[in-house]
Structure formats: structure tokens, C-alpha cells
Amino acid sequence: MPKQSPVPDEVDKPFWDAANEDRLVVQNCIDCDRLQHPPVAKCPDCDPGTNLEWKEMSGRGRVYGYGVMYDCPVTILAEDQPFNIAVVELEEDPGIKMLSHLPGTPVDDVPVGAAVEVVFEVTPTTGQKVPEWRVVG
């Protein structure tokens, strides 16, 4: 599904740059040894909270849950309705969650708990790649 192109900013540029290289990275607070997503300028759990790094993930996860969009406000997604929006949790830390359209999975037939792996999808406007997820096996 063609998506809006995300415009990276100072904080999350490494996340989106990695996506363009088909790599999934997640921000990590070195002092707390804790992953954080979406990216933030400062770790919310410690001070000054700026000892942050980017950790490469395996790209494996699981479907946590989902909903099916029928009345989507985003114009360029509207003609693809209805479509799944799943919440995926990462293998390294199920607390870290990302959204996915689950390309290849039929609408409203989402296998909750199933294993997924990351794929990288090009967005049409700028070519920026976006992490997406496919059910495996």
C-alpha cells in the first residue's frame, strides 16, 4: 500500500536512514539499558537522559493485536480500505511496538501471536523506506 513519506528530523534520522539500508534500528538508553520507540530526544527514565545509541534489531517479532480501518482520514490510503493495521512487538523486547499493514495478510484475518519479519517498503513521494512486517511460516 502506498504510504505517506515520513520526513526524518534531528531525533529520528538514524532510524529512517537505517530503514533506507534495509536495517531496523531502535533507540536504546545506555544508562538505563532500555529500548525506546518511537525515538525521543531524551530518555524519560534518567537524567540527563542523553546517553542514547541505536541498536540493530533482528527484524523478527510477533503480532500483538490489530484493528481494521474502514474510515481512514489519510487520503492516499483511502482507496485501499478496508485494511489491517496490526501492532507488532519486537522479539528483542515485546514492550517495543510498531504498526504494520501486514502486507499479504487478508483483511480482518490477522493471526494474532503469529511470527512476523520486517520488510522495507518504499514510499512513493520521497523514496524514503518504511519498516513493514510480513507474517512468516
Partner 1 sequence: MPTQNAPASMYRSTEGLGIWEHKGKVAAVGIGHSPTARRWDETTDTSLGAWSILALRRAIEDAGVRPDEVDGLVMAQETSTGSPWPSDKPIPEDFLNTYKSTDNPLDGIARLSADWILMNMPELTNVNFTMYGPGCMSNAVVTAAQAVGEGLTEVCLVLKGWHNFGGRYYVGQGAAGGNTVTGPGKYSTLWGTVACYTTAMQFEAYCRKYGKNHDMMAPFVVNEKRNGLMFPEGFWAQHRPEVLTVEDYLAARWIAKPANLFDNDIPIMASAAYLFTTPERAKDMKQKPVYILNVASDRTRVRSFGPTLEEAEAATDETGRKIYEGSGLSPSDLSFENMYDGFTLFHQFHLEGIRFAGVQRGEALDFYATDITIEGPNPASPSGGNAGAGRTRFWMHTDSIQQIQGRAGARQISKPAEIGVSGGPTPTGGNFTVWSSTPG
Q: Does 41 bind partner 1 (CB under 8 A)?
A: no
User: Shortest distance, CB of residue 118 to partner 1, whole angstroms?
Assistant: 14
Name residue, grid cell 489519510.
74
Q: Does 29 bind Zn ion (CB under 5 A)?
A: yes
User: Shortest distance, CB of residue 20 to partner 1, whole angstroms?
Assistant: 14
Q: Which of 21, 71, 79, 127 binds partner 1 (CB under 8 A)?
A: 71
Q: Are 114 and 91 in contact (CB under 8 A)?
A: no
* CA–CA separation, 125 and 8 (whole Å): 14
Q: Which of 22, 56, 108, 109 binds partner 1 (CB under 8 A)?
A: 108
Q: Are 102 and 116 in contact (CB under 8 A)?
A: yes
